[in-house]
Amino acid sequence: MRPLTGMALAARAYAAARWRERTLRSRDAVARYQARRLRALGRHLATLPFYAGIDPDRPESWPVIDKAVLLANFAAMNVAGLELAEVRAALDRGENRIGRCTVGHSTGTSGNRGYFVISDAERYVWLGTLLAKALPDALWRRHRVALALPGFSRLYAAAEGGSRVRLGLFDLDDGVDGWADRFAAFAPDTIVAPPKVLRLLAERGLISRGATAFSAAEVLDPVDAAPIAAATGLPVRQIYMATEGLLGVSCAHGTLHLAEDAVAFEWEPAGALVQPVITDFTRRAQAMARYRMNDLLRLSDARCPCGSAFQAVAAVEGRRDDILLLGGVAVTPDVLRNALLDADRRIDDFRIVQTGAEAIVVALPEGIDGEPVRAALAAALARLGASATITVAHDIPPANATKLRRVRREWSPDQSSISAS
């Protein structure tokens, strides 16, 4: 039998994802489906050196890994046996292919890049699944999709061969000014970009009324969502994906639903938030099983009007690396973000940075009184049993092509006695 072409694989994955959306209509159905896929994945994992000796039928017994473990055991966790040094060398030469595999890396904003190996077939399965969730009408309606994302990989380029979806690539490293005219001429009906870029496009009148805006690659803050939604007249949607894979897509109601038909999620508590441990059962070229991510999520118990049984996410709040550590208390980014925005509804941009053991610097727009903000942040910290010297400035640095983190920690103590609050 002749193997399927790339776009045929994408079409099949699209149809399969749409079928799962229609048939997995309860949490029990999702759990049963995941159990079958996890058992099949377990049999594959057992063939990889790192997972030799695991019980394929007991996913809960598989080791929990993180980025450090993955990088230290890179060759033992991919089917081609590619060494990490080999992948890095190829990428340094500007190459993203080794044999039949595509390789790539994350943006590395935390100072430690993640690296991935993916097969051609998996690229097109990823594409079909994403299209089914983001553009469910793509089979009968043509779309012009603008992608303005950092580090274009062959994952995105896979869509260029589609007949129903015309793709426009806009490099963030060139800056919006470098491609604004080309973007306007392309006239996309769908835009995928970091929220800071979507907001800039909206403020320049480059996003058409009725266009669908997908926020990706960064935390979607309310200060960005409001002007984007005002420009489109529609809810801002999200595509939640990372080096680890496609993790979730918002429905037309704006609710972010996890891609539980492709990924199984376990949750580790981080105060009122949770940190995901993921198992992607669509990937074979490189294992992604019980991988502890660095993200912090706020889950939602509300049933979305769209009727999806897939877990809803109220917000992706940030990263565990950006939990502020103050006097033995860990303060998650959402606590200070919410306190700041509630202090003055006129705030449309900000930065909160921990610079010392008990020191926070807050940058606000010109014209915003810093005292109510300082008091609100101090009160939020006091409710957790924490305190800090809070310095207010009015010199917000411009957002560039790197990932925007409005709340971040730039100071690292001995964390041996820290627990999240």
Asked if the model's pLDDT at residue 275 lies above 80, the reply is yes
pLDDT at 28: 98
Q: What is the mean pLDDT of residues 296-307?
A: 94
323-420: CATH topology is: GMP Synthetase; Chain A, domain 3 (3.30.300)
Contact criterion met (CB below 8 Å) for 320 and 331: no
DSSP state of 31: H
pLDDT at 415: 46
Q: Report DSSP letters for 84-121, one per residue.
A: HHHHHHHHHTT--EETTEEEEE---TTSS--EEEEEHH
Percent of the chain with pLDDT over 90: 76
Please give the helix or strand (H or E) that residue 192 lies within, else none. strand 190-193
Question: Rounded distance, CA 102 to CA 204, Å?
Answer: 36
Contact criterion met (CB below 8 Å) for 252 and 214: no
Question: Rounded distance, CA 308 to CA 298, Å?
Answer: 18
pLDDT at 418: 47
Point out the least confidently predicted range of 150-154, 256-260, 416-420.
416-420
Q: What is the mean pLDDT of residues 2-21?
A: 85
Closest CA to 118 of 110, 128, 129, 126: 126
> One-letter amino acid identity for 236?
V
Asked if the model's pLDDT at residue 245 lies above 80, the reply is yes
Question: Rounded distance, CA 204 to CA 227, Å?
Answer: 11
Contact criterion met (CB below 8 Å) for 305 and 254: no
pLDDT at 88: 95
Question: Domain coordinates of the chain in residue numbers?
Answer: 6-48+120-319, 323-420
Q: What is the mean pLDDT of residues 371-377?
A: 97
pLDDT at 416: 41
Q: What is the mean pLDDT of residues 25-53?
A: 97
pLDDT tens figures, 307-364: 999 999 999 999 999 999 998 899 999 999 999 999 999 999 999 999 999 999 999 9
Token pair belonging to 145: 């999709």
pLDDT at 110: 56
CA-to-CA dists, residue 268 to 281, 294, 309, 313, 333, angstroms: 20, 11, 21, 15, 17
pLDDT tens figures, 210-234: 999 999 989 999 999 999 999 999 9
Predicted model pTM: 0.92
Three-state DSSP at 27 gives helix
In sequence order, the 6+-apart residues with CB closer than 8 A to the CB of 267 are 274, 275, 276, 277, 299
Question: Rounded distance, CA 212 to CA 224, Å?
Answer: 15
- Taking the CB of residue 307, how many other CB atoms lie within 10 A of it? 10
Asked if the model's pLDDT at residue 155 lies above 60, the reply is no
Closest CA to 216 of 194, 248, 245: 194
How open is the CA angle 75-78-83, to the nearest 5 degrees? Answer: 25
Torsion angles phi and psi, residue 192, rounded to 5:
-120, 120
Q: Give the architecture (CATH level 2) of 6-48+120-319.
A: 3-Layer(aba) Sandwich (3.40)
Q: What is the mean pLDDT of residues 366-395?
A: 96
Token pair belonging to 401: 């092509």
